[in-house]
Amino acid sequence: MTEPLHEPQLALHVEDLTVSYESKPVLWDIDIDIPPGVMAAIVGPNGAGKSTFIKSVMGLVKPTAGHVRIFGRPYAAERLRVGYVPQRSSVDWDFPTTALDVVGMGLYGRLGWLRRPGKRERDAAFQALEQVGMQDFAERQISQLSGGQQQRVFLARALVQQADIYFLDEPMAGVDATTERAIVDILHRLRSQGKTLIVVHHDLQTVRSYFDWMVILNVRAVAQGPVSQVYTPENLRKAYGGQIALIERNTFADDAAPASGDAV
Amino acid sequence: MLALLGDYTIQTVAMGAALLGISSGVLGCFAVLRKQSLLGDTLSHAALPGICIGFLVAGSRDIGTILAGALVSGAVAALVVLVLTRMSRLKTDAALGIALSVSFAVGVVLLTYIQGGGNASQGGLDSFLFGQAAAILRSDLWIMGAVTAAALALVTLLWKEFKLVSFDPGFATSLGLPVVALEVTMTIMVALAVVVGLQMVGVVLMTAMIVAPAVAARQWTRSLGAMVVLAALFGIVAGVSGAVISATARGLSTGPLIVLAISVIVLVSLLLAPGRGLVWASLRRRRDRRSLAGRQVLSTLYGLAAEHGNQGYPTELGALDAFHGTPTRGTMQRLERRGLVAPVTHEPETTPHWELTPAGLSEARRIDDASRENS
């Protein structure tokens, strides 16, 4: 490809992105830059376009305007460096297949046409299941897995992609505290390997302990940058409006007494 | 029976029915898993105008032209559904309904026009409505066989792509698979299955052959591969048995018999399949309920014994009934059979009493510990 690199120093560069459904803008003129090696939370109220943002970056939703670059290139050119964890509820878990088989699907992109997954692919999928602690469930029907286990299977399918940048759509939604902890540990391990993680996250309370970068969305990009600079009452109020009162009391109070952080 | 299978016509019909079973069984699996069962209904009804146009173009009952016409008009209907859902705010079910009724209406109008035209060779065109297996010729089998082989080859070559697109189209897109093209291919395959079955079961009942084998197979299997193979087998069994039954009793039409045969298979599968069947599920519920009731009564007895500081404390049955708000006699008898409780008398009362046996005591302790761990 002879196209010159555009902002190659950034893991993700989004410029002037506008997405609309049936003439109503869901995302409006968004500019977002995320440097490599960070774990970034995408937060915002319901209907802010968080999932749409990820989907339009991955080409699942066609943007009305704007462009997206991954490490300086269009998505299609860097596809093999991208891993994706869709929302768990986006598929029918009654599909007749096993956990191991679903994880193996992460390799179909590399495998190419007409080639079938063989022993090498099975081994890679099994290893990914081990990483998320699901090796004992490899041959289990996916319909028999709990919500948290299904989420781990999806995470393993992304791990097997061996990507440099991962997009995760609400990976912590509807899972218990143990699973959430396990998922966060895996994500932190990936970050320490230099991977970039972009995570749609719904829980403002945990943003500061899990993430080091954040983007606040509400149709427009309200704020973005290191969590320490962006996680301010002012920014959150801009995105969430009146709903913020409760969050404010609970989380900003921690600053006064950081030692009691675990008690929340 | 053997004599029947030796009959040339019956052989032809049975082979046609088997081909129909294979193609609709295999291709129906993807339609059902993609929640597109109704697409088969629309495509088969939409085949009727194509059949008529094919007849008008050929000027005779030339099966090749007619089936090609059916394929084309089915594809056009599928395209209309796609455009309607993409371009307007119509939802898929509404678009399918519209495409189905409009194309079927067009088909019936064309059919009556042809029948009124006095063309001597028009005879039997309405057999495509409900199918007329006896009219199938050996030469027709070649066409049906070729279409089936083409569909099977497509499924084999694009197996992992079809599987991923059926399970998680969003993820498939993120991998760079041409999801729209693959979905269109799967839709065309359903149209191919319809074409194979037209002479056999006709446009009205064809949807059952798409949906039923896949639904039945899903009940018994744990992988897509097994589901596809089993759906093909179910399709063959239903097809051949329908064909043979109709041959033994004169005047019973083959298509509906095939559909009834596959319906029986579906019914049995829905009821009896291990794990997913309704009978299985209700047995499991009953077992769970009983074992829960047993554990509850044991821990009640255990609690009372502990309160009274007497391991063999005799508890009155009436008290247990009142405590659990339900008659517990059956539960007590089941526990007695397991040797966990024993009936005792408690003078001067004459009502039945129960006490924990040593085995019952240790079982109750185990339950108690387990529930403590879980809380």
Quickly list DSSP for A70-90. Answer: ETTB-GGGGGGGEEEE--GGG
Q: How far apart (Å, rounded) are the C-alpha atoms in residues B193 and B144?
A: 9
Check residue A4 and give its pLDDT. Answer: 80
Cα A107–Cα A113–Cα A116 angle in degrees, nearest 5: 60
Check residue A23 and give its pLDDT. Answer: 74
Q: The tokens of B81 are what? A: 């559904």
* Cβ-based contacts of B168 with chain A (< 8 Å): 86, 90-91, 105
Q: How far apart (Å, rounded) are the C-alpha atoms in residues B169 and A108?
A: 13
Q: Which residue of B has its CA nearest to A86?
A: B171
Per-residue pLDDT, averaged over B360-374, amounts to 78
pLDDT grade for B32, boundaries at 50, 70 and 90: very high
Kind of pairing between the strands at A24-34 and A12-21: antiparallel
pLDDT greater than 60 at residue A156: yes
Selection from A109, A247, A264, A114 nearest residue B174 by Cα:
A109
Confirm if B112 and B56 have CB atoms less than 8 A apart: no
A82 inside 8 A of chain B by CB: yes
Q: HSE-up of B165 (CA within 13 Å, CB side)? A: 21
Average pLDDT, chain B: 87
pLDDT grade for A116, boundaries at 50, 70 and 90: confident
Domain extent listing, chain A: 12-256
Q: HSE-up of B122 (CA within 13 Å, CB side)? A: 15
Q: Are B164 and A105 inside 8 Å of each other by CB?
A: yes
Q: Which is more confident, A108 or B322?
A: A108
Q: Which residue of A has its CA nearest to B153?
A: A114
Distance of alpha carbon B292 from its chain centroid, rounded?
Answer: 33
Q: Are B222 and A79 inside 8 Å of each other by CB?
A: no
Per-residue pLDDT, averaged over A130-140, amounts to 92
Q: How far apart (Å, rounded) are the C-alpha atoms in residues B296 and B310?
A: 19
* Cβ-based contacts of B273 with chain A (< 8 Å): none
pLDDT grade for B5, boundaries at 50, 70 and 90: low
B119 inside 8 A of chain A by CB: no
A108 inside 8 A of chain B by CB: yes
- Going by the DSSP 8-state scheme, the letter that residue B315 receives in this structure is E
Selection from A54, A62, A51, A49 nearest residue A34 by Cα:
A54
Q: Are A157 and B173 inside 8 Å of each other by CB?
A: no
Number of other residues whose CB lies within 10 A of the CB of residue A76:
10
Give the C-alpha distances (Å, rounded to integers) separating A160 from A132, A157, B173.
11, 5, 17
The residue to which tokens 């049906």 are assigned? B144
Per-residue pLDDT, averaged over A223-252, amounts to 77
Q: Are A92 and B161 inside 8 Å of each other by CB?
A: no
Instruction: Give B150-166 as a DSSP string.
Output: HHHHHHHHTHHHHHHHH
Selection from B242, B194, B192, B235 nearest residue B215 by Cα:
B235
- Percent of chain A beyond pLDDT 90? 59
- Going by the DSSP 8-state scheme, the letter that residue B122 receives in this structure is G
Pick from A207-211, A254-258, B255-259, B265-269: least confident: A254-258
* Cβ-based contacts of A157 with chain B (< 8 Å): 171
- Percent of chain B beyond pLDDT 90? 38
Pseudo-torsion of CA B282, B285, B287, B291, nearest 10°? -170
Please give the domain boundaries of chain B with CATH numbers for all domains. 2-276 (1.10.3470.10), 280-374 (1.10.10.10)
End-to-end, the C-alpha distance of chain A in Å comes to 52
Selection from A220, A239, A223 nearest residue A29 by Cα:
A220
Check residue A245 and give its pLDDT. Answer: 57
Confirm if B44 and B21 have CB atoms less than 8 A apart: no
Q: How far apart (Å, rounded) are the C-alpha atoms in residues B87 and B79?
A: 12
- Percent of chain B beyond pLDDT 70? 96
Q: Which residues contact A37 (CB under 8 A, 6 or more apart)?
A: A11, A191, A194, A195, A196
A162 inside 8 A of chain B by CB: no
pLDDT grade for B358, boundaries at 50, 70 and 90: confident
Selection from A158, A162, A149, A169 nearest residue A60 by Cα:
A169
Distance from CA of B223 to the nearest CA of A (A): 5
Q: How far apart (Å, rounded) are the C-alpha atoms in residues B214 and B229?
A: 10
Q: How far apart (Å, rounded) are the C-alpha atoms in residues B241 and A242?
A: 68
Q: HSE-up of A175 (CA within 13 Å, CB side)? A: 28
A residues 121-160 lying closer than 8 A (beta carbon) to B:
141, 157
Is residue B61 helix, strand or coil? coil
Distance from CA of B352 to the nearest CA of A (A): 44
Selection from B18, B13, B20 nearest residue B205 by Cα:
B20
Q: The tokens of B225 are what? A: 């591969």
Per-residue pLDDT, averaged over A29-43, amounts to 93
Instruction: Give chain A as a DSSP string.
Output: --SPPSSTT-SEEEEEEEEEETTEEEEEEEEEEE-TT-EEEEE-STTSSHHHHHHHHTTSS--SEEEEEETTB-GGGGGGGEEEE--GGGS-TTSS-BHHHHHHGGGHHHH-TTPPP-HHHHHHHHHHHHHTT-GGGTTSBGGGS-HHHHHHHHHHHHHTT--SEEEEESTTTT--HHHHHHHHHHHHHHHHTT-EEEEE---HHHHHHH-SEEEEEESEEEEEEEHHHH--HHHHHHHHGGGHHHHHHHHHHHHH-GGGGGG-
Check residue A264 and give its pLDDT. Answer: 36
Q: Are A84 and B171 inside 8 Å of each other by CB?
A: yes
Confirm if A28 and A18 have CB atoms less than 8 A apart: yes
Number of other residues whose CB lies within 10 A of the CB of residue B233:
17
Sign of CA dihedral B334, B339, B340, B345: positive
Q: Are B174 and A117 inside 8 Å of each other by CB?
A: no
Give the C-alpha distances (Å, rounded to integers) separating B243 from B19, B121, B255.
12, 26, 8
Check residue B121 and give its pLDDT. Answer: 55
Q: Which is more confident, B351 or A123?
A: A123
Distance from CA of A241 to the nearest CA of B (A): 32
Per-residue pLDDT, averaged over A171-188, amounts to 91
Q: Which is more confident, B230 or B294?
A: B230
Q: How far apart (Å, rounded) are the C-alpha atoms in residues B247 and B12?
A: 12
Q: Identity (one letter) of the amino acid at A165?
A: I
Q: Are B171 and A157 inside 8 Å of each other by CB?
A: yes
Distance from CA of B72 to the nearest CA of A (A): 28
Average pLDDT, chain A: 87
Check residue A259 and give its pLDDT. Answer: 42
Distance from CA of A79 to the nearest CA of B (A): 7
pLDDT grade for B134, boundaries at 50, 70 and 90: confident
pLDDT tens for each residue of B216-265: 999 999 899 999 999 999 999 999 998 888 888 777 888 889 999 999 99
Check residue A243 and give its pLDDT. Answer: 61
Check residue B225 and give its pLDDT. Answer: 94
Q: How far apart (Å, rounded) are the C-alpha atoms in residues B38 and B211?
A: 9
Check residue B152 and give its pLDDT. Answer: 93
Check residue B119 and give its pLDDT. Answer: 62
Pick from A48-57, A61-70, A164-173, B240-249: least confident: B240-249
Distance from CA of B218 to the nearest CA of A (A): 7
Q: The tokens of B364 are what? A: 């109750």
pLDDT grade for A249, boundaries at 50, 70 and 90: low
Q: Are B160 and A111 inside 8 Å of each other by CB?
A: yes
Check residue B335 and give its pLDDT. Answer: 86
Check residue A246 and give its pLDDT. Answer: 54
Q: Are B177 and A76 inside 8 Å of each other by CB?
A: no
Kind of pairing between the strands at B341-344 and B353-356: antiparallel
**Answer CATH for A12-256 from 3.40.50.300, 3.40.640.10, 3.50.50.100, 3.30.2400.10:** 3.40.50.300
Rg of chain B on CA atoms, in Å: 30
